[in-house]
Amino acid sequence: MKIATLNVNSIRMRLDAVLEWLAVHEPDVLALQETKCADDKFPRFEFEEMGWNVEIYGQKSYNGVALVSRHSILGVRRGFEDPRFPEDCRLIEASVGGVTVVNTYVPNGTVVGSDKFDYKLRWMERLRALFASRHRPDEPIVWVGDMNVAPTPDDVWDSRRHLGKVGHHPDEFARLAALVDWGFEDVFRRFHQGPGHYTFWDYVIPRSFENNLGWRIDHVYATAPLAVRATSCTIDRTLRQGEKPSDHTAVVAEFDV
C-alpha cells in the first residue's frame, strides 16, 4: 500500500499538478492539507472523473483537509467531534484497504508565546487524547500530514537559528513526542538519516528551494504492525519545482500490506 501526503496550499491553484501527480504515482491514498476552500468549492468532480474517490473537510479561505483514493474510503470521521471546542478543518480520518489513515494539518502557531502558539500545543494534546480514545497502538494506523514541527536538529536547515522559534520549539517537541510515544514510528527515519531531507521551503526566503533552505515538517507515522512492513519512504521534490508550486512537496511511504 502506497500512502502519500501533500500540503497543497490551495487545491484550486494546484488542481492540475495534483491530478497529474496522481496519474503518475498511483498512490492508494493521497492525504491533502490546506485545501483552502469550502466543500462546495472543492473540485470534487475533477477528481471523480479521473476515477478518484474524495472525502473532504473544508472551510472558506483557511485550513481544509482531504483524502483521495481509488479504493472505497470507509468510516470517515471529521475533526475532533468535541462540542467543547470550536472546530476548524484540520483533521480527517478514514479506513482504506484495512488501514486507518489519519490526516492532520497541525496549526502553524505563528509566533512563540502567542495565542495561536498556545492553540497549537493544545491542539496536539487533543490529538494525543483522540488517538487514545479511538484507537489502540496494535491497530494498523498511518498518521500523516503537515505537522508544522521539525522535531530534530537535522529536520531544519539551520537548527541553531530556529531553536526556540515556532516549528522548532521544545514545547512542540514534547507534544509531538507524546504523540509518538503513544505508539508511532517516524517512517521516513527508518530509511533516511541525517540533515537535508526537507518537505517545505519558505516562499519568503529567496531561492530557498534552490539552496535547500527547508524544513522536514510533513511526516508519515505508523503504528508498529505497519511500520515493520514499511518498504520505502521518500520525499518527491518534483512538486516543489514546477510552475507556481506549493511551498511544500509530497512524502510517499510504501507498506507491504
Partner DNA sequence: ATGGTTGGCATCCAA
Binding-site ranges for DNA (CB under 7 A): 9-10, 12-13, 36-38, 60-63, 107-108, 110, 116, 203-206, 244
Count of residues making up the chain: 257
Cβ-based nearer residue to DNA, 114 or 152:
114
* 106 and 91 Cβ atoms separated by less than 8 Å: no
Q: Which of 28, 57, 146, 221 is catalytic?
A: 146
> What is the per-residue DSSP string for 194-214?
SS---SEE-TTSTTTTTTT-E
Half-sphere exposure of 94 (CA within 13 A, CB side): 24
Cβ-based nearer residue to DNA, 157 or 255:
157
Residue carrying the nine cell digits 490529538: 127
**Shortest Cβ 204–DNA spacing (Å):** 5
Q: Which of 28, 57, 105, 221 is catalytic?
A: 105
Query: Is 236 exposed, middle or buried (CB count within 10 Å of its CB: 0-12, 13-18, 19+)?
Result: middle
Cβ-based nearer residue to DNA, 208 or 223:
208
- Among candidate residues 129, 104, 117, 251, the one with its CA nearest the CA of residue 172: 117
**Shortest Cβ 96–DNA spacing (Å):** 26
88 is catalytic: no
**Shortest Cβ 208–DNA spacing (Å):** 9
CA gap 90, 73 in Å, rounded: 18
**Shortest Cβ 241–DNA spacing (Å):** 13
Q: Mapping DSSP to helix (H, G, I), strand (E, B) and coil, where does residue 6 land?
A: strand
**Shortest Cβ 190–DNA spacing (Å):** 27
Cβ-based nearer residue to DNA, 13 or 112:
13
Cβ-based nearer residue to DNA, 105 or 188:
105
146 is catalytic: yes
Active site residues: 105, 146
